[in-house]
Structure 1
Amino acid sequence: MALVIEGEERISAPVDKVWAALNDPAVLKEAIPGCQKLEMKSPTEMAATVVLKIGPIKATFQGEVTLKNLNPPNGYTIEGEGKGGIAGFAKGGADVTLAADGDNATILKYAAKADVGGKIAQLGSRLIESTSKKLAGQFFSTFGEKVGG
């Protein structure tokens, strides 16, 4: 089941600061809903453990996150895949772009695609889509608060 989620967030910080935060595992770990662990394996690869509840299913996903198409400080593509045992799997990515909004603010735009399978996919597209949009919104608003203070 494939989903597309788009949005934007205005962050009260200059582009360079937002770019640095997008590459900082400590900031990302705090912003990712349900993230238990996020560690850098290389400058473009991270390992993650995320616990999510989607409808009646609560699952722990072990996954990999890779940064691609790096264009500092204007954006990148983030791709990830997580396996949640019997709950199923989730994989997807997002194109993230940054644009200055005056001297001390940044507009972060994202276009994310996600694909889920297994038990989670049986919950129905409306529940998965609303949960995915909520999680993406939570991530970007928390990220904006952390970076923009």
Structure 2
Amino acid sequence: MNFEGEFELDGVPPEKAWIVLSDPIAVRDALKGCRYIAPMDDDFNFDEYEPEEGLETLPDADADDVADRAFVAGQKYAALMQVGVGSVKPQFETTVTINERDGDDFEMLASGGGDASGSSFSMNSGMRIHELEDGGGSRIEWWTEADISGRIAQLGSRVIKPVSDKIVNNFFSNIEQQMTDVDEETSSGVTDRLRNML
């Protein structure tokens, strides 16, 4: 199944949109049903991992903390995500690898997959941030190719697509609010410093 879309952020320049979308904690907080997104190694255990609570995001977080935890190309991340599709509400143990991160063109590519009771998926996805033609904001383009199998796949695209659209729309609505807060309350000096760190 293919999913794609775009949305615009008036008044939020690509540099600030990129910083927010580079922060796993900001992404986690904007993604309903996501318990954590954490760097993982070969010994990572989904059942035993306890995410750190109360982590701040911009504009309240320290710039160094945000830079230290930013997504890294080549790094694998564990994500625990619960998705409700009809009467099925599986909790997916997901592994995602950041394949590419280009801070000049504001592009990030990722791949991964996950399993839940009786269902699994694999995906390739990406996003690219463009400056609006009038220079007054950003246009974020995103896409995902996903292969879904098991109980959820049996429900069919007629059921899956609206649920996926709702998750994506909620995510971008939440992330837009974070970006607006960052744009209004974070000084350009902090943004420039983060851009250099990332």
Residue 109 of structure 1: how far off its partner (Å): 0.6
Structure 2 stretches lacking a partner, 5+ long:
41-70, 182-198
- Structure 1 or 2, whichever has the larger Rg, is 2
Q: How many residues align?
A: 146
Structure 2 vs 1, CA of residues 77 and 90 (structure 1 numbering), >3 Å: closer, same or farther?
A: same
Give every structure 1 segment of 4 or more consecutive aligned residues whose post-TM-superposition deviation is greater than 3 Å: none
Q: Which shows bigger deviation, 94-103 or 117-126?
A: 94-103
> What SS does the corresponding residue of 1:49 show, helix, strand or coil?
strand
Superposition TM-score, scaled by structure 1 size: 0.88
Of 96, 109, 129 in structure 2, the residue corresponding to residue 77 of structure 1 is 109
Whether 2:177 is the aligned partner of 1:145: answer yes
After TM superposition, list the pairs within 5 Å mapping 1:43-122 onto structure 2.
43=72, 44-73=75-104, 74-86=106-118, 88-101=119-132, 102-122=134-154
**Counterpart of 2:162?**
130
Structure with a larger share of its residues in strand: 1
1:113 and 1:138 map into 2 onto residues whose CA distance is 19
1:80 and 1:124 map into 2 onto residues whose CA distance is 21
RMSD between superposed Cα atoms in Å: 1.7
Residue 7 of structure 1: how far off its partner (Å): 1.0
Structure 2 vs 1, CA of residues 55 and 135 (structure 1 numbering), >3 Å: closer, same or farther?
A: same
The aligned amino acid for 1:10 is E
Structure 1 stretches lacking a partner, 5+ long:
none
